[in-house]
């Protein structure tokens, strides 16, 4: 069975920065939760932009649902994958309902009005993300966490098999970070969505993701089960930080240890708290 996303020998370089993504290959099966992690400048967002067709690869190929990404029109691609970018405030005062309804743009006719079927997707997305309660409020009046939920609702209303998210929990507090990841996991499990999320949080990545792509600043990468990819050695090699690794049941957790860490003797030790 072929994966819904298939990346083969992908390379990309910016003129000013040199090679960012080099010879990457991986395959994501439908209904999988993939996280892309790595230090700043490792090419996480660049890879996401390649996957959503915003950038064109200089070598290699990306297949979405068994067809080359270049073979899709912008409209067709928007029916295959939805993108949630880092939180922002729009120029004009659109309400939450208006923002979520924009998800149906790839399906609208000449005059651009939503049908009953479109409204069903919009209402479902609002309910699932618990954003219906403030659907008539302007987006700008919401908190960062609420806004992020609205953008996820929009992605859900787009009704695509794949969801790409660029650091969906940046700027959010712990409660909202967990809330967003719970929501994504629910969408994966209940709706069969394929989730691809760029993240800096390796604990959340290890807890929620099925597979992880760990990008190094030197264009190296490792792809595999999240629990396998994240190890103290990999974290130290990729991020340049030693980490304390523990385990609660099957869940791994990591505590980065800086030079002022109180108990330096435990650096790198693994503790099983189960």
Partner 1 sequence: MLTSEKLAVRIVICLAVLCVVMCLCAMVGPQKVSLRKVFAGPGEEPGGNIDYEIFVGVRLPRVILAALVGAALACSGVVLQAILRNPLADPYILGISSGAGLGVIIAVLSGATWAFWGGSPIAVFAFAGALGTVWLVWCIGHFTGKSQVTSLLLAGVVINAFFSAVIMFLTSIAKSEQVHSTIFWLMGNITEKSLSVLGVSAACIFAGIIALFCISHRLNVLTFGEEEAKALGVDTARTRVIAFGFAAFITAIAVSLSGLVGFVGLIIPHGVRLVFGPDHRQLLPVSGIIGSVFLVAADTLARTIVAPAQLPVGIITAIAGGPFFLVLLAKYSRKVSWLK
- With beta carbons less than 8 A apart as the criterion, state whether 8 and 207 touch: no
Q: DSSP of 25-58, one letter per residue?
A: EEEE-TT-EEEEE-STTSSHHHHHHHHTTSS--S
Helices assigned H by DSSP within the chain: 44-51, 74-78, 96-101, 116-128, 144-157, 174-191, 202-208, 226-229, 232-239
Q: Does 15 bind partner 1 (CB under 8 A)?
A: no
Rounded least distance, CB 36 to partner 1, Å: 17
Give the interface segment with partner 1, choosing from 3-11, 103-111, 142-150, 240-248 (CB under 8 A).
Answer: 103-111
Q: Does 97 bind partner 1 (CB under 8 A)?
A: yes
> Binding to partner 1 (CB under 8 A): which residues in 127-186?
136, 138, 158
Cβ proximity to partner 1: between 89 and 189 the closer is 89
Query: Tokens representing 164?
Result: 């790409």
Stretch that binds partner 1, among 10-18, 47-55, 178-186, 264-272 (CB under 8 A): 47-55
Tokens coding 254: 């990591």
Q: Is 102 in the site for partner 1 (CB under 8 A)?
A: yes
Which residue intervals of 55-143 are DSSP H helices? 74-78, 96-101, 116-128
| Interacting residue with partner 1 among 69, 78, 215, 235 (CB under 8 A) | 78
Of 15 and 259, which has the nearer Cβ to partner 1?
15
- In whole angstroms, how close is the CB of 186 to partner 1 at the nearest point? 22
Q: Does 90 bind partner 1 (CB under 8 A)?
A: yes
Query: Is 83 an interacting residue with respect to partner 1 (CB under 8 A)?
Result: yes
H/E run at residue 219: none
- The CA distance from 247 to 158, in Å, is 37
For the chain, helix, strand, coil in percent to 5 are 35, 30, 35
For residue 53, state whether it binds partner 1 (rule: CB under 8 A). yes
Q: Of residues 59, 119, 241, 255, which one binds partner 1 by CB under 8 A?
A: 119
Interface with partner 1 by CB under 8 A: which residues?
Answer: 52-54, 73-79, 82-83, 85, 88, 90-95, 97-98, 101-103, 105-106, 108, 110-114, 119, 122, 136, 138, 158
């Amino acid at each position: 069975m072929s994966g819904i996303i298939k990346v083969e020998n992908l390379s990309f370089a910016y003129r000013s920065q040199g090679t960012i993504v080099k010879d990457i290959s991986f395959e994501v099966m439908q209904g999988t939760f993939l996280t892309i992690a790595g230090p700043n400048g490792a090419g996480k967002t660049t890879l996401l932009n390649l996957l959503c067709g915003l950038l064109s690869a200089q070598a290699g190929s990306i297949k979405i649902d068994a067809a080359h990404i270049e073979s899709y029109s912008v409209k067709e691609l928007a029916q295959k994958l939805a993108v949630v970018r880092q939180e922002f405030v729009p120029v004009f005062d659109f309400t939450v309902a208006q923002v979520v309804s924009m998800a149906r743009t790839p399906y609208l006719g000449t005059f651009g009005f939503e049908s009953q079927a479109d409204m069903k997707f919009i209402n479902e997305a609002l309910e699932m993300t618990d954003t219906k309660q403030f659907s008539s409020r302007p987006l700008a009046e919401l908190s960062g966490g609420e806004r992020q939920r609205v953008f996820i609702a929009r992605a859900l209303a787009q009704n695509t098999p794949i969801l790409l998210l660029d650091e969906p929990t940046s700027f959010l507090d712990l409660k909202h970070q967990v809330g967003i990841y719970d929501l994504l996991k629910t969408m994966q499990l209940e709706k069969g969505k394929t989730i691809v999320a760029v993240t800096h949080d390796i604990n959340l990545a290890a807890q929620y993701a099925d597979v992880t792509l760990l990008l190094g600043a030197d264009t190296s990468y490792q792809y595999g089960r999240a629990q396998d990819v994240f190890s103290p050695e990999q974290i130290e090699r990729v991020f340049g930080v030693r980490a304390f690794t523990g385990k609660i049941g099957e869940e791994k957790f990591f505590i980065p240890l800086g030079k002022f860490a109180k108990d330096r003797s435990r650096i790198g030790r693994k503790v099983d708290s189960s």
